[in-house]
Amino acid sequence: MLRRRQAGTKTTRMTGQFPATRLRRTRATAWSRALFRETVLTPADLIWPLFVTEGSGVEDPIGSLPGVSRWSVDLIAARAKEAVALGIPCLALFPNTQADRRSDDGREALNPDNLMCRAIRAIKDACGDQIGVLTDVALDPYTSHGQDGLVDGAGYVLNDPTVEVLIGQSLNQAAAGADVIAPSDMMDGRIGAIRDALEEAGHANVQIMSYAAKYASAFYGPFRDAVGSRGLLKGDKKTYQMDPANSEEALREVEMDLAEGADSVMVKPGLPYLDIVRRVKETFEVPVFAYQVSGEYAMIEHAAAAGAGDRDALVLETLLAFKRAGCSGVLTYHAAHAARLIG
């Protein structure tokens, strides 16, 4: 017997009734669960964020991110080769810029020999096109005040002057060999400006993955430790990052960035914003990524260390949730560990 029910605005078909239909039948064995699985997680769904630091032979553990380190440029190629071997298709790079290279105007972002550019070249020299390199575009790793852009005398982040610097930063990274430019700054209009500049400079095949819906979140603390900006940040980022209460606004942000030339979009943070991921995917039907941010990662690690859950199971279940919600891929510090578990 068939009957129908309303599920929101969609009409779904109900097939059969108990006991003729027993939904537990297909869950009874491992082979059957695998056969009927709706969502599949593979290493190709993962992007591995890595932190770069000055020095030689340096592996510098980050206290608030258990198991994550900053790597000197000479060691970053080994991480890239590890990722290739694990089937991870892309790395995301973030620099820990020395204090004496930070300034109010973030000019180190434009230095063709800065940490980011040297790391890009090292990875490309070691792996070529075997792996993609995604680079963060924002000024917070380079400013002495920790904000993502230029500020006026009152500490307000200036939109249009910041976009001009972001254009230069993007071209700098593209010239070094970046495959994907990922603006995380949340300035208005920067996607179109960067896309135009890339086209004019002959970088037509360099992708843009826009941090389109990036929220002013409490989950970023360990990341700010990793890039050295936590103690520098003056004020907060609520005048440019999104209000966690808003979802309609996220759709407007995504729509504008797609219209300006973004190849893919990102939602950040991850698990607390899976509803945003789903809305973006269903509304625009474009590649959507999510960033499982530092605070999310740290909570899993601390929960596992406290005996509150099995680490491997927690890692895989949370990553699967991103895919189920509609993500094409996930930026996660668990990428290498998850790839080994999946493999």
Task: Report the percentage of the chain scoring pLDDT > 90.
Answer: 90
10: which residues sit within 8 A by CB, 6+ positions away? none
Phi-psi category of residue 305: left, alpha or beta, with phi > 0 → left and psi -120 to 50 → alpha: alpha
pLDDT at 9 (0 to 100):
55
Phi, psi of 331 (to 5 degrees): -85, 120
The reply to whether 154 falls in a domain is yes
Q: Quick: pLDDT tens for 82-115.
A: 999 999 999 999 999 999 999 999 999 999 999 9
The reply to whether 100 falls in a domain is yes
The reply to whether 46 falls in a domain is yes
pLDDT at 234 (0 to 100):
79
pLDDT at 180 (0 to 100):
98
Q: 195: domain range? A: 40-342
Measured in whole angstroms, how far is the alpha carbon of residue 287 from the centre of its chain?
A: 13
The reply to whether 204 falls in a domain is yes
What average pLDDT score do residues 64-74 get?
96
Q: Quick: pLDDT tens for 307-333.
A: 999 999 999 999 999 999 999 999 999
- Cα 90 to Cα 339: distance, rounded to the nearest angstrom: 13
- Cα 221 to Cα 3: distance, rounded to the nearest angstrom: 50
pLDDT at 211 (0 to 100):
98
- Is residue 3 pLDDT above 70, yes or no? no
Instruction: Read off the pLDDT band of 10 (50, 70, 90).
Output: low
pLDDT at 67 (0 to 100):
95
Instruction: Read off the pLDDT band of 120 (50, 70, 90).
Output: very high
Q: Quick: pLDDT tens for 291-305.
A: 999 999 999 999 999
Instruction: Read off the pLDDT band of 8 (50, 70, 90).
Output: low
The reply to whether 249 falls in a domain is yes
Q: Quick: pLDDT tens for 156-201.
A: 999 999 999 999 999 999 999 999 999 999 999 999 999 999 999 9
Q: What does pLDDT average to over the chain?
A: 94
E strands present in the chain: 2-7, 10-15, 46-53, 59-61, 69-72, 90-95, 132-137, 180-183, 207-214, 264-268, 288-292, 329-332
- Is residue 5 pLDDT above 60, yes or no? no
Instruction: Read off the pLDDT band of 12 (50, 70, 90).
Output: low
What average pLDDT score do residues 130-155 get?
96
The sign of the torsion formed by the CA atoms of 108, 114, 117, 123 equals: negative
Entry pTM: 0.94
Instruction: Read off the pLDDT band of 2 (50, 70, 90).
Output: very low
Least reliable range by pLDDT among 9-13, 166-170, 173-177, 237-241: 9-13
Give the CATH number of the domain where residue 131 resides: 3.20.20.70
The reply to whether 16 falls in a domain is no
Is residue 288 within 8 Å of residue 281, measured between CB atoms? yes
pLDDT at 215 (0 to 100):
98
- Is residue 11 pLDDT above 70, yes or no? no
The reply to whether 242 falls in a domain is yes
Catalogue the active-site residues.
Answer: 214, 268
- For the chain, what is the domain count? 1
The reply to whether 4 falls in a domain is no
